[in-house]
Structure 1
Amino acid sequence: MSHANLMNNYFNPNSVYTEEDFRRRFRMRRHVFEHLLCDVQQVNPYFQQKRDIAGRPGFSPYQKVTVALRMMAYGSPAASMNETHGMSESTCLDTLEQFYDTIVQVYKDEYLREPNQEDLNRLLRKTEDPGFAGMIGSLDCMHLDWKTCPT
């Protein structure tokens, strides 16, 4: 039932929520979610739907990825996922761990690498415009003078 609700709300052609609602709730566009889902399913069999010992279908890939993303994006506790997605705390934590590991495995070379010199130069140029010159290496901006700092 949780899977059917999720599909009816967000993924079916005549879904309850619009593309704009999807982007606000998931913090990404639907096609990005679908691409991510496809990638994690291909690499990790955990994200493929299986049947339990009684022959009932387990959690769908959509449910698993949704739970992992919600926990990451909103800092939702695993225990709260039972109410909305019908997934136990331990299953949510397993799903989150599998998701993290799979994302690193799939996207590490392209997105999770250290910046090269070209990347650093581009980032430094971007930070100069709003007045944050030399910000690379000091993400907390402690080297900047802030006269009206509240602390």
Structure 2
Amino acid sequence: MRREDDESDEEDEAWRNAQNRAATMVCQPTAQQTHWGGFVAGPSYKPRNRMMTHANLMNNYFNLNLVYTEKDFRRRFRIRRHVFKRLLHDVQQVNPYFQQKQERAGHAGFSPHQKVTIALRMIAYGSSADPMDETHGISESSCLDTLEQFYVTIVQVYKDKYLREPNQEDLDRLIHKAEDRGFPNMIGSLDYMHWDWNNCPTRWQRGFYERLRMPTVVLEAIASYDTWIWHALFRVPRSQNDITVLGRSPLFNSLTEGKAP
């Protein structure tokens, strides 16, 4: 009986050794295998000159002897230059993705100016990633990653200050400003509009068809005199008018629950 147990243990040990050798052979890289990260020459590789595109961007908008004026900057970025610099500083402090790093191949990654510029340009113009590849030398996947990281970081940084309902101090300021303009006891102007939803999923299109026989979505928004949008609703399906959208909106929930300032 002992001999059979010894033979069984030897067989188990031999089987485990064979499995370990097989795993080792699989995990070891061969001469044909390439490592992830950095520039790898291949069918999909494009020799983008990141340093040149960064230098052009800095010479055009940020260096002392810049090419384009403050007016040009605001028209193309939809914000002023000092707002861009504040965004650039804030996102770098919160998200390491926007800090320039060195890749495994030893090449410098995209600069913070390039990443924030790409995100703002795609938002301002509603453009796809292909134009960013041509002008800034960044691939489509990197553009989309940068845009997603920018959205998440902006919400994380500014949600407590901007993405909220007005408090008592905000209401006093809004009412005072409205009184100066001849509208006493008003805190804002409520408006609705239909937005064409070109990329509406097929299974949802019937629920979002509007009178023009195309999918639209209703936007309800309230903005202050300084363009602070302190309320927005952007998800009402089917054909709606202003009254029905307002009835489904959470705008007055805090008021009816006794939680409003």
TM-score normalized by structure 1?
A: 0.81
Q: Does 1:97 align with 2:178?
A: no
Q: Does 1:28 align with 2:79?
A: yes
Q: Deviations over 1:102-127 (max 9, x none)?
A: 00000000011123366467279489
Q: Deviations over 1:22-48 (max 9, x none)?
A: 111111111111111000001000000
RMSD: 2.7
User: Higher strand proportion, which one?
Assistant: 2
* C-alpha separation in 1, matches of 2:85 and 2:157: 15
Segments ≥4 residues shifted beyond 6 Å? none
* C-alpha separation in 1, matches of 2:242 and 2:152: 35
Per the alignment, residue 117 of structure 2 pairs with: 66
* C-alpha separation in 1, matches of 2:95 and 2:188: 40
* C-alpha separation in 1, matches of 2:62 and 2:140: 25
* C-alpha separation in 2, matches of 1:143 and 1:119: 26
TM-score normalized by structure 2?
A: 0.49
Distance 1:115 1:86, change over 3 A: same
Identity of aligned residues (%): 69
Q: Deviations over 1:6-64 (max 9, x none)?
A: 00000001011111111111111111111110000010000000111111111000000
* C-alpha separation in 1, matches of 2:100 and 2:182: 48
- Bigger CA radius of gyration: 2
Tell me which amino acid in the other structure corresponds to 2:128: P
Secondary structure of the structure 2 residue equivalent to 1:21:
helix
CA contact (8 A) 2:192 2:242 kept: no
Secondary structure of the structure 2 residue equivalent to 1:37:
helix
Please say which of residues 63-72 and 14-23 is displaced more in the overlay.
14-23
Secondary structure of the structure 1 residue equivalent to 2:160:
helix
* C-alpha separation in 2, matches of 1:94 and 1:120: 38
CA contact (8 A) 1:128 1:134 kept: no
Aligned length in residues: 141
Structure 1 stretches lacking a partner, 5+ long: 145-151
Distance 1:143 1:30, change over 3 A: same
Q: With CA pairs under 8 Å and 6+ residues apart, which has the higher RCO, 1 or 2? A: 1
